Structure 1
Amino acid sequence: MSRAGLAAERTALAWRRTAVAAMITSALFLNHAMTSGWRPALIAPIGAAIVMAALAGLSYLRNRSLHEGRYGHGSWVVATATVVVVAVAGIAAVIEFTDPWP
């Protein structure tokens, strides 16, 4: 396998790990929403869970495209993932300061 092929394989595996991490983060946000009781303030963690689930799907699709040899169009996926992670980190910080666990 060439160096370019190995680099694509490593990148594909990184996108797979990103998908798994996004799914776990989504589950944690849903757990927080379900165990806190229903309040209007829970729209933020539910929204974050949905966005992280979408990021998991996007990461999986990028992983599949790299495995299939389609290497282009990765910059918008990286930019989207960056925006999503920064936004969800902000939501997590707001949740921590406004609704800490007992």
Structure 2
Amino acid sequence: MPQPRWRREGEEPDYRFTLANERTFLAWIRTALALLAGGVLLFEFAQSIGPRSLVLVLAVGLAVVAAVLGGLSYVRWRANEVAMRHGRPLPGSVVIPGLAAVSLLAAAVIAIMILTA
């Protein structure tokens, strides 16, 4: 399999940093899978906690966030690899506060749905 151009640029980083970056990528993927599982569980088993349309919107929303997070996890992994190869600081990300906000919003909506059921 041919290597992408960015993997041939700069210097090869210490393998420990590369492996740490991969572990972080896998953590993001696990988080995306957990969000997807939460959406599926809501859709399948949350019949009595709120209006079906609200449950459906929340389940689809979690699935969409999971898909976006899966894609952004690769983008973040690649940006970190490029930065390490060129000796630059690791880039910041709006994904972390965004994910926290989505999690807070989803938890609040579910809590309200349970309390009003």
Q: Are the counterparts in 2 of residues 30 and 46 from structure 1 also a CA contact under 8 Å?
A: yes
1:87 aligns with 2:105: yes
Q: Report the Cα distance in structure 1 between the residues aligned to 2:19 and 2:26, rounded to whole angstroms.
A: 11
1:6 aligned onto 2:19 = yes
Corresponding residue to 1:28 among 41, 55, 67: 41
User: What percentage of aligned pairs have identical amino acids?
Assistant: 28
Query: Given that residues 12 and 62 in structure 1 are in contact (C-alpha distance below 8 angstroms), is that contact kept between their aligned partners in structure 2?
Result: no
Q: Is the 8 A contact 1:27 1:49 kept in 2?
A: yes
Report the Cα offset of residue 13 of structure 1.
0.6
Question: Which whole-Å deviations, capped at 9, do the CAs of 1:52-78 have from their partners, x for residues lacking one?
Answer: 1121112211232245x2236652111
Q: 2:101, 2:91 → 1: CA distance?
A: 17
Q: Which amino acid aligns with 2:79?
A: R
Q: CA deviation at 1:88?
A: 0.4
* TM-score where L is the length of structure 2: 0.67
1:44 correspondence with 2:57: no
1:70 is matched with which residue?
A: 79
Q: Which has the higher helix share?
A: 1
| Pairs aligned (count) | 94
Query: Partner of 1:18: helix, strand, or coil?
Result: helix
- Find the aligned partners of 1:14 and 1:70 in 2 and give their Cα distance: 16
Mind listing any 5+ residue stretches in structure 2 that lack a counterpart? 1-13, 81-89
CA RMSD of aligned residues (A): 2.2
Q: Bigger radius of gyration, 1 or 2?
A: 2
**TM-score, L = length of structure 1:** 0.75
